[in-house]
Chains A and B, each alone.
Chain A
């Protein structure tokens, strides 16, 4: 996994940079490339920038809302509000995203803090998986992307909620040990002294209203870069696939119901898109893949993808992460086919 990440990401970006060098240098290479097929280069540019421009409003909205909450609402308040009964707790965790429309990238550090502050781990973990989907920003962007099929936005929300409730109930029953990596804190202290991630409380970090507003802007513009690189990478891969692979080839994979869903889930895992913007990418595969496959993409991606697994492994014990990922894969695969059968 880590190998894929370590090798894949630099390779892809090396490709980006190589192209960039070609464009900037313009020493005959560019004209050679252009003479090959300028139309393809143009299509690539139109698709790449189309996706990026389309996602900007949603990323910015998510980043700013998340930053505002991060700075203005203390974790202790949330920990205090958390119910004690498992079923109520699981529902609370699944629906917390309605109040905290965080992206999955902003989710894990927050949950880690919440668990340290006394939130039951199973609730925190359900929040990690439900939050990126069951929230108003993501619903709006999905609804916008699938204007022709409003059922998709509802199906995405409903299926994610159902799966997270199942996951939460299982965790509340079987998760006895603390799922956090025991030495994460000490490790961080030994490595770079950045323990502030674990103990920093935003409500006290910044002073006064303007101090907090500045902190919000700081958080938002930094997070924009953290998330932006994944969005651009995702847009890049999507544009490459769409300009170079024939529709028939994709349709061949997407033809089978099981293989189509599994393929789109794999794609969602690799692309690691932000949940606020992945609906636009999914919509671009509309008509090539069955609705069940698109639904699987939309539900699995925000829960489990390359970057979130890496973040999870850094925070939680490996066994727990592996068990949850396998469980989620099975639930999303089955659930998307069933939901599409009944609803879409």
Chain B
């Protein structure tokens, strides 16, 4: 075997191992339900498909290595993909592929938590998330134009309690539904939407019974009896996830371990955080829960359509 053939064979084999490694990593995640830690459910089928394509490429590389060992050119596209000769350069290039694989296989699985939430900046029960989603537009609901005297007294009273504009119409409808419930359980599928509604129509919900679950988050701006019940909201993948939470007060808050998962219930009230007034939960009951199978929440892009 000529030296250049041997060199090509080694390259093809390294590439086969790396491509196969990524395919295996995806398969391993998909089998253990770990894929949801990295990407949103709606992207999962595509990532699983790409594992197939990676396998196919890996198998092709093995075939190319076999051809090279026989001194034959593999099917050539003539695009000058010849691997570089310099060894340090090769170590660097292949090292870049090995690093994420090694991290993925060797480090234990974990979820995003307080440390990243602090870097990314927590959003507390957040009418301002609406403003973000509407790219800077002010989301404060404007009062409906006065003077359209129709409707019975009840309806107009609830209209006055839940004023809305074109961007907040669905939140107003959802708000009325929540208001009718004796106790509000914040659902995972509408975590952000529910917190946003509660905050948007804050005055109406003071004194209401609310229950939600999330991980414990704390920062310096909080009082000794404060913590936040938080979730990461993911759009596509872990890198674009942002932390959302509701501040809670609880006498024994300091005893709670950060990043531990809790289910809390209590009544809504207004509290102080970082020099501002925010919506917070006065905790009456708290229990420790295990990390849920789906630790993240996902914004519902069809939220508006539910209320048309």
Contacts and interface: CB of A to CB of B under 8 A. Distances in A.
Given A45-B104, A228-B97, A280-B240, A222 B75 contact: no
Interface string B65-86: 0000000001111111110000
Interface of B: 15, 19, 22, 26, 35, 37-39, 43, 46-47, 49-50, 53-54, 56-57, 60-61, 64, 74-82, 88, 91-93, 95-100, 102-104, 106-107, 110-116, 119-121, 132-133, 135-136, 235-240, 242, 259, 299, 301
A57 B116 contact: no
Contact of A147 (B47, B95, B136, B301): B301
B100 A232 contact: yes
A50 B38 contact: yes
Looking at chain A, what size class is its interface with the partner chain?
Answer: 35 or more
A41 interface: yes
B98 A148 contact: no
Contacts of B74: 214, 218
A161 interface: no
Nearest to B114: A39
A259 interface: no
A109 interface: yes
Interface string A146-180: 01110000000000000000000000000000000
A233 B135 CA distance: 29
Q: By DSSP majority rule, is chain B's interface helix, strand, loop, or mixed?
A: helix
A306 to B, nearest CB: 15
A46 B110 contact: yes
A223 B81 contact: yes
Contacts of B57: 217, 220-221, 224
A243 B77 contact: no
Contacts, number: 225
B237 A50 contact: yes
Contact of A244 (B54, B119, B135): B119
B47 A56 contact: yes
Interface string A78-118: 00000000000000000000000000000001000000000
> 4 nearest interchain CB pairs?
A50-B238, A214-B75, A200-B78, A222-B81
Interface of A: 9-10, 13-14, 16-17, 19-20, 23-24, 37, 39-54, 56-57, 60, 64, 67, 70-71, 109, 144-145, 147-149, 194, 196-197, 200, 202, 205-206, 211, 214-226, 228-229, 232-233, 235-236, 238-239, 242-248, 251, 280-281, 283-284, 286-287, 290-291, 344
Contact of B239 (A41, A205, A242): A242
B215 to A, nearest CB: 12
B78 A202 contact: yes
A39 B237 contact: no
Contacts of B82: 194
Contacts of A291: 135-136
Contacts of A17: 91-92, 95, 99
Most buried by B among A17, A24, A52, A223: A52
A260 to B, nearest CB: 12
A314 B74 CA distance: 28
Contacts of A64: 53
A321 B223 CA distance: 57
A49 B47 CA distance: 12
Given A54-B39, A217-B56, A247-B121, A49 B77 contact: no
Nearest to B35: A53
Contacts of A46: 37-38, 110-112, 238
Nearest to A24: B102
Contacts of A23: 102-103, 106-107
A11 B35 CA distance: 31
Given A39-B259, A45-B107, A280-B240, 18 more contacts: A9-B92, A10-B92, A13-B92, A13-B93, A42-B113, A46-B37, A49-B100, A49-B104, A53-B26, A70-B79, A194-B80, A197-B79, A214-B75, A218-B64, A225-B93, A229-B93, A233-B96, A290-B136
